[in-house]
Amino acid sequence: MTIDLASLGWDATLASALAADPDLTPGRVTRADQGVCTVLTAAGVLRVSLGGGLLAAAGEDPVQLPCAGDWLGVRAWPDGRRTADLLLPRRTAVVRRTSDKAATGQVLAANLDAAAVVEPMDPTPDLGRIERLLALAWESGATPAVVLTKADAVADPGAIVAQVADLAPGVAVHAVSARDGSGLDALRPLVAPGRTLGLLGPSGAGKSTLVNALAGVSAMEVQQVRRVDGKGRHTTTYRALVPVAGGGAIVDTPGIRAVGMFDNADGVDRTFAEVVELVAQCRFADCGHAAEPGCAVRAALESGDLSRRRFDSWRRLEREVAYEARRRDVRLAAAEKAKWKRVHREQRAHYRHR
Ligand SMILES: Nc1nc2c(ncn2[C@@H]2O[C@H](COP(=O)(O)OP(=O)(O)OP(=O)(O)O)[C@@H](O)[C@H]2O)c(=O)[nH]1
Ligand SMILES: [Zn+2]
């Protein structure tokens, strides 16, 4: 099987980044496991392990771990093994905070052109979650969108679209139903040849159903890897990146339950553009929007132009981002201090032994 990499987004910029090492060939990650990636290459689907350089880089900073959507430089060894030896620069990346104490980032998807926040219409969409995921989508560098699924299950999808459009300034909001096919055509331009659409949303939002509806029967689908699990059942190997029949790809991220803000100050500002505009009109640059005179935010709350829910939501995310930034600074400072301690200790040992 041959795969047309250009239809998956391979371009001159990526090619020149790979050109430094003529022994490497390109591959795009469809899924990443512990130390092993499944990649699409011109010669077909390959399983590659991470080379030493990549492992070392990821040890320093987990953001350097390859993830779905990444382009890798793959080396073929004389004994038939293949390793991923180069992570090509990402054009865009969706990064969330890991749940552990280290406060590092985890890349959910890379090289997306559009990042769609997927939320069901039924049950009622969680507005706070949409805002949170939109901040991630904006921050990624991809064009954000909102996709409201299961439109067939509600009486008035238009009303819900209007409600969500209010909290997504500058973002296209789509209502779709995979069941009756309505609204899908509006999403098709997002998965054109060479373009990649990412889906971010909770489990049960209908992401997999949407992937199937949009992807059609691709060559990959027909050749889908099947394996038998421990209970003797056939399971379809989970692939995060799915090539689309006519070109393009969709990246399905695993159901996201909690997304902690990482380095999302810009994403939060863009998600709450109208609040940021109000803040700029407050008389005092450091206005706390409490009792200060000339507070444009409070005026908007009082007139009803800004909803209390929206304000609280902005406050929460903005504070979370600030808190995370402080934590990161403290961690970096501690790492720096530890390094100097080590250097001094080594120097002392050096002079003692002279
Ligand atoms: N009525 C209706 N139900 C839908 C639609 N799309 C998906 N569903 C149902 O919603 C449920 C969840 O859909 P999935 O596609 O598995 O959701 P998911 O987001 O991929 O969830 P995870 O795989 O757990 O991440 C399934 O029972 C689907 O049949 C739709 O357009 N209309
Ligand atoms: Zn104010």
Domain extent listing, the chain: 5-89, 96-252, 265-350
Q: Kindly state the DSSP code that residue 324 receives in the 8-state scheme.
A: H
Nearest to 246 by CA among 178, 192, 181, 187: 192
The pLDDT, as a whole number, for residue 100 is: 67
Centre of ligand 1 to C-alpha 180, Å, is 13
Centre of ligand 2 to C-alpha 298, Å, is 6
Q: What is the CATH number of domain 5-89?
A: 2.40.50.140
User: Residue 306 CA: which ligand is closest?
Assistant: 2
List, as own/partner pairs, every contact residues 57-64 make where C-beta atoms lie below 8 angstroms and the sequence separation is at least 24, other chains included: 57/87, 61/104, 62/98, 62/104, 62/105, 62/106, 63/93, 63/95, 63/104, 63/105, 63/106, 63/107
Atom of ligand 1 nearest to the CA of 211: 15
**pLDDT per position as a tens digit, 241-275:** 999 988 999 999 877 777 778 888 899 999 999 99
Cβ of 206 closer than 6 Å to ligand 1, yes or no, is: yes
User: Residue 284 CA: which ligand is closest?
Assistant: 2
User: Residue 116 CA: which ligand is closest?
Assistant: 1
> Is the pLDDT assigned to residue 47 strictly greater than 90?
yes
Cα–Cα distance measured from residue 220 to residue 3, given in angstroms and rounded to the nearest whole number: 9
Atom of ligand 1 nearest to the CA of 201: 19
**ipTM of this complex prediction, to 2 decimal places:** 0.93
Residue 273 assigned as binding residue = no
Q: How confident is the model at residue 218 (pLDDT cuts 50, 70, 90)?
A: very low
Q: What is the CATH number of domain 265-350?
A: 1.10.40.50
- Tell me what percent of the residues of the chain surpass a pLDDT of 90: 71
Cβ of 126 closer than 6 Å to ligand 1, yes or no, is: no
Residue 67 assigned as binding residue = no
Residue 209 assigned as binding residue = yes
CATH architecture of the region 96-252 = 3-Layer(aba) Sandwich (3.40)
Cβ of 307 closer than 6 Å to ligand 1, yes or no, is: no
With 0-12 / 13-18 / 19 or more C-beta atoms within 10 angstroms meaning exposed / middle / buried, residue 208 is middle
Q: Write down the number of H helices and E strands in the chain.
A: 10, 15
> Is the pLDDT assigned to residue 350 strictly greater than 80?
no
Residue 206 assigned as binding residue = yes
Q: Compute the mean pLDDT over every residue in the chain, rounded to the nearest whole number.
A: 89
Centre of ligand 1 to C-alpha 181, Å, is 13
**pLDDT per position as a tens digit, 94-132:** 998 876 666 688 899 999 999 999 999 999 999 999 999
